[in-house]
């Protein structure tokens, strides 16, 4: 895990530098050459499609390359999800230019990405894994980049395979002034759908390991 985290950290710094740099074409090309050398090292061996990375535990929802929480992912902030004493889950993050939409503000769709993840994590945290069936977002104000944010997700109700969840994004220094409000419906697929969707998924040892009801909650830090 340490090496995956080290590479993820290095890549996030590189990607962040790449969108905020003011160096000239020569330095950009030199950086591209370094990046290609790194790629060649990594491409020496690739996992086959459908085989999860050794560090993943899909039953416990630990995914090291998640585009939102993955410590190994260059695109993930990454968010660290924690149980919220007020209920559900919460995360804090300060987002940079990588996620920019209108100048100075978070891309509206990035709010959608983050909220979908928080809502899904809130369901998992309550032992109610499902896939997104419906997501709805109200944008009450632009989300500023470069300032600490608080993201929350919580379960509103559950009935059988359907879980209704909600969430919000606010600036950490004004947590009650909601900038983005989200609601979602997450549905646990029927057994036959699960079989169809995830028939070929294996862990690194080759064992069939579809996602499912969490046995513990390692995706959420204590």
6 to 65, contacts with a copy of itself by CB under 8 A?
6-11, 13-15, 17-39, 41-47, 49-50, 52, 58, 63, 65
* Alpha carbons within 13 A on the beta-carbon side of 38: 11
Choice from 62, 117, 125, 152 touching a copy of itself (CB under 8 A):
117
Q: Looking at the DSSP assignment, which residues form a beta bridge with residue 84?
A: none
Nearer to a copy of itself, 85 or 190 (CB): 190
Binding mask 92-111 for a copy of itself (x = CB under 8 A): -----xxxxxxxxx-xxxx-
φ, ψ of residue 48 to 5 degrees: the values are -70, 155
Nearer to a copy of itself, 211 or 214 (CB): 211
Find tokens 């459908």 and name the residue.
50
Instruction: Classify the C-alpha dihedral 51-56-60-62 as positive or negative.
Output: negative
Pick the stretch among 80-88, 134-142, 170-178, 213-221 that binds a copy of itself (CB under 8 A): 134-142
Min CB(123)–a copy of itself separation in Å: 12
Torsion angle in degrees (nearest 10) through CA of 117, 123, 81, 2: -80
Min CB(199)–a copy of itself separation in Å: 10
The angle that helices 2-20 and 25-42 make with each other, rounded to 10 degrees, is 160
Rg over CA atoms, the chain: 19
Residues between 180 and 199 that touch a copy of itself (CB under 8 A): 197-198
Nearer to a copy of itself, 83 or 101 (CB): 101
């Amino acid at each position: 895990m340490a090496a995956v985290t080290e590479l993820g950290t290095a890549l996030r710094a590189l990607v962040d530098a790449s969108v905020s740099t003011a160096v000239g074409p020569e330095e950009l090309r030199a950086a591209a050459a370094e990046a290609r050398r790194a790629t060649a090292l990594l491409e020496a061996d690739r996992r086959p499609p459908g085989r999860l990375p050794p560090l993943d535990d899909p039953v416990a929802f630990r995914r090291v390359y998640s585009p939102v929480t993955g410590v190994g992912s260059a695109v993930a902030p990454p968010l660290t999800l924690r149980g919220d004493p007020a209920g559900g889950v919460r995360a804090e993050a300060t987002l940079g230019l990588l996620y920019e939409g209108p100048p100075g503000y978070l891309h509206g769709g990035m709010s959608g990405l983050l909220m979908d993840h928080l809502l899904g994590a809130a369901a998992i945290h309550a032992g109610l894994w499902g896939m997104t069936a419906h997501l709805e977002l109200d944008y009450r104000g632009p989300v500023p980049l470069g300032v600490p944010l608080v993201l929350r997700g919580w379960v509103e109700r559950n009935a059988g395979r359907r879980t209704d969840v909600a969430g919000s994004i606010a600036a950490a220094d004004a947590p009650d002034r909601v900038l983005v409000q989200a609601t979602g419906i997450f549905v646990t697929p029927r057994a036959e759908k699960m079989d169809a969707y995830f028939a070929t998924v294996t862990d690194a040892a080759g064992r069939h390991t579809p996602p499912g009801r969490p046995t513990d909650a390692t995706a959420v830090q204590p």
